[in-house]
Amino acid sequence: MEMHAKKRVEIVVEAPLLNRLLGILDDANVSGYTVLPAIAGRGHHGSWSREGLATDAGRMVVVVLIVSPDAAPGLMTAIRPLITRQIAIVSVSDVQVIRGERF
Q: pLDDT digits over 79-99, tens only?
A: 999 999 888 999 999 999 998
Contacts of 99 (CB under 8 A, 6+ apart): 4
- Mean pLDDT (whole number) for 18-35: 95
The CATH code of domain 4-102 reads 3.30.70.120
Which sign, positive or negative, has the C-alpha torsion 73, 78, 79, 80? positive
Q: Mind listing the pLDDT tens digit for each residue in 35-82?
A: 999 888 877 777 767 665 555 556 899 999 999 999 999 999 999 999
Other beta carbons less than 10 A from residue 5's beta carbon: 11
The residues spanned by each domain of the chain are 4-102
Residue 68 Cα distances to 7, 86, 101, angstroms: 6, 26, 10
pLDDT at 40: 83
What is the residue type of 36? L
